[in-house]
Amino acid sequence: MAPSAARDRPRPLAFARHRPYLRAMLDFGFDNSYARLPDRFYTRLGPTPVAEPKLIALNDALARDLGLDPAELRGEEGVSILAGNTVPDGAEPIAQVYAGHQFGGWSPQLGDGRAILLGEVVGGGGRRDIQLKGSGPTPYSRMGDGRAWLGPVLREYIVSEAMHALGVRTTRALAAVATGEPVFREEPLPGAILARVARSHIRVGTFQFFAARGDQEALKGLTDHVLERHYPGAYGIIDLLHRVVGAQAELIASWMSLGFIHGVMNTDNMSIAGETIDYGPCAFMDDHHSAAVFSSIDHHGRYAYSNQPTIAYWNLAQFCSCLLPLMVGELDAKVEAATDVLKRFAPMFQNAWIHRFRAKLGLLTEEAGDFELASDLLSRMERNRADFTNTFRSLPDARGGFDDPAAFDEWARGWRLRLGREGASPEDRVDLMREANPALIPRNHRVEEAISAARRGDLDPFRRLSAALETPFADPGGNADLARPPTEEERVRETFCGT
């Protein structure tokens, strides 16, 4: 064999060191549509077993929603499956291949380097992927070890579940399991695995992988798969583009309305199903700052809070260009048609944005000046370092959060005049605002606190935070401390990719 061919082969995986898989009796009822796509969409391989799996958290409600029995998942066999030590009957484990633009730079081949898709289940809420993240090396691991440490696993568990409770479309967390093995970063850290649930793990980058290779047959197969799975009502390529653009416009508007910063909106981290995916260096901002960046590697603020709509648009342009080969007609005409769809992003985003901010301000009707009213409040919040979440939650008494209370009062006069033109009952308005303005978000310092305690073996802060975030719009009661912004000493300024 030529040396280059040997180099190109995936490196051998370290199965031999570990126990062989146990045979599972637990029935997930898998139906794996992605694994029925051609071989070049993935590599078939199982998770790498770990030394000593221990359940950290199980999402009972989600398990039930997937048609799984939480009690069985908590049992020895269930935990063994969630850790990747047992592959359940009906699973067809694969690592999916994709490409992507990372910080604008092109990577022709990425893929699941630390995740294995076990399969798909069709539960009450429709078809969902069950994926193990941190489950060992794959041919796409590049220099990585295929593992995750406890920190990012708990972070994704807390934040993705909080996003769901906040009404944002997102991947979910089914379980977190400790592996009993160290993961080596700058120091040895406790290893963990997240069982992630998603409508699918198909990304803009999945389309880019095949488009860049000129593999039209695969592009067509992937598109048909996505149409059937995610957009069954769509009637062709242009309509599919339109729906994906619309789903992202809604998604980004929901992030903006909560002060959420994804942090790493690479095209491989943008889901075609329109879910928030990949909670690496994400963060909710405390005080409002339009240029807020938390990710330690985002030096130029590409993925800053206020840049998110622009980046979504950029990513969607990549998606649209991937589908040009599947459209009929002259190239110019196809480009024009795709561009027309793309141009719809801005108005769709603005509509979704103002719809959410009207609710945040308690406005039940629409007036032309509403955008200016909301934007004016945001700029005053920024100048006054006012807390994003608490300012909205405590309208109309938010002046306390402003360095200069007069700046709030001045805005509030215009707001009250606007409210006066509504004719809505104060009760309806209060209900609307309470449902649009959460009391609780996963504040960075609380997430970090939960992770630090878990490293010491104390899971109580993680459990308390997760439980409180199940009802973020309720009055926090005994969890009022979780609604408090950080003090200067508590403030977390930087977040890290989840490797």
> Can you give the binding site for Mg ion, defined by CB under 5 A?
269, 278
Query: Which window, 52-60, 112-120, 342-350, 368-376, contacts ligand AMP (CB under 6 A)?
Result: 112-120
Interface with ligand AMP (CB under 6 A), residue from 85, 141, 307, 389: 141
- Tell me the closest approach of the beta carbon of residue 453 to ligand AMP, in angstroms: 24
Kindly provide the b/e burial profile for residues 90-106, where b requires at least 16 CB atoms within 10 angstroms of the residue's own CB.
Answer: ebbbbbbbbbbbbeeee
- Is 176 or 374 the residue whose CB approaches ligand AMP more closely? 176
Give residues 181-200 in contact with ligand AMP (rule: CB under 6 A): none
Contact status: 145 vs ligand AMP (CB under 6 A) = yes
Partners of 182 in the β-ladder: 190
3-state class of 16 per DSSP?
coil
CB proximity list for 176: less than 8 A, separation 6 or greater: 55, 56, 57, 153, 154, 157, 192, 193, 194, 195
- DSSP, collapsed to helix, strand or coil, labels residue 122 as strand
In whole angstroms, the minimum distance from the beta carbon of 266 to ligand AMP comes to 6
β-pairing verdict for 54-58 and 260-261: unpaired
**Residue 473: how many CB atoms within 10 A of its CB?**
15
101: partner contacted, choices Mg ion, ligand AMP, none (Cβ within 5-8 A by kind) = none
C-alpha distances in angstroms, 241 versus 128, 177, 319?
Answer: 22, 38, 8
Q: Report the alpha-carbon distance of residue 299 to residue 83 in Å, rounded.
A: 35
Residue 221 near residue 326 (C-beta atoms within 8 A): no
Taking the complex as a whole, the smallest distance from the CB of residue 278 to Mg ion amounts, in Å, to: 4
Q: Is 161 in the site for ligand AMP (CB under 6 A)?
A: no
Binding of residue 398 to ligand AMP (CB under 6 A): no
Is residue 268 flagged as an active site residue?
Answer: yes
Helix axes 331-343, 345-360, angle to 10 degrees: 10
Please tell me whether residue 202 binds ligand AMP under the rule CB under 6 A: no
Q: Which of 65, 161, 250, 278 binds ligand AMP (CB under 6 A)?
A: 278
- The tally of CA atoms less than 13 A away on the side-chain side of residue 452 is 7
499 contacts ligand AMP (rule: CB under 6 A):
yes
The structure tokens listed for 151 are: 């920190």
How many residues sit in the footprint of ligand AMP (CB under 6 A)? Answer: 19
Question: Among the options 65, 268, 287, 387, which is catalytic?
Answer: 268
Query: Does the footprint of ligand AMP cover residue 113 (CB under 6 A)?
Result: yes
Q: Is 147 in the site for ligand AMP (CB under 6 A)?
A: yes
Q: Which stretch binds ligand AMP (CB under 6 A): 15-23, 109-117, 120-128, 344-352?
A: 109-117
Q: Which residues within the stretch 293-322 sit at the binding site for ligand AMP (CB under 6 A)? A: none
Query: Least distance from C-beta 280 to Mg ion, angstroms?
Result: 7
- Cβ at position 177, least distance to ligand AMP in Å: 16
Tell me how far apart the alpha carbons of residues 60 and 66 are, in angstroms, rounded to a whole number.
10
Q: What are phi and psi for residue 494, nearest 5 degrees?
A: -140, 140
- The residue number whose beta carbon is nearest to ligand AMP equals 144
Nearer to Mg ion, 263 or 472 (CB): 263
- Is the N-terminal amide bond of 396 cis, ω within 30° of 0? yes
The torsion defined by the Cα of 345, 346, 347 and 351, in degrees rounded to 10, comes to: 100
Q: Does 203 bind ligand AMP (CB under 6 A)?
A: no
Among 46, 49, 53, 111, binds ligand AMP (CB under 6 A): 111
Q: Smallest distance, Å, CB 498 to Mg ion?
A: 9
Query: Shortest Cβ distance from residue 401 to ligand AMP (Å)?
Result: 34
Q: Which residues are catalytic?
A: 268
Enumerate binding residues for ligand AMP (CB under 6 A): 110-114, 140-141, 144-147, 264, 268-269, 278, 280, 497-499
